[in-house]
Amino acid sequence: MNTQNTENKPDIYKINLKKESQILLECQKKRNLNSCFECENLIGCNNRKSYVRAVYDSMSQGESGGFEF
């Protein structure tokens, strides 16, 4: 396996997580909320869904299945 490519390759999962986190924080700020749990749109919120997916992908590095905490 060529480890040099993976070491120099940007971590797309961290980049996506940062992007989705920023979107979520901007939404909270726009609504004057400190947490998504305070929002009436929590259930079914696409911003929250995308953020949770990005967290999962970042932790699992795109591999299907479980991950260790």
Query: Does 53 map to a domain?
Result: yes
Residue bearing the bigger pLDDT, 19 or 2: 19
The pTM of the full predicted model, rounded to 2 decimals, is 0.74
For 22, the domain range is 11-60
Instruction: Please give the Cα distance from 17 to 22 (Å, whole number).
Output: 8
Query: Does 1 map to a domain?
Result: no
Query: Does 69 map to a domain?
Result: no
Q: Count how many domains the chain has.
A: 1
Query: What's the pLDDT at 4?
Result: 44
Query: Does 56 map to a domain?
Result: yes
Query: Does 5 map to a domain?
Result: no
Query: Does 28 map to a domain?
Result: yes
Query: What's the pLDDT at 28?
Result: 96
Instruction: Please give the Cα distance from 59 to 53 (Å, whole number).
Output: 10
pLDDT digits (tens, 9 = 90+) for 9-66: 568 999 999 999 999 999 999 999 999 999 999 999 999 999 999 999 888 876 766 5
Query: Does 30 map to a domain?
Result: yes
Query: What's the pLDDT at 60?
Result: 83
Helix spans in 9-60 (H): 12-30, 46-60
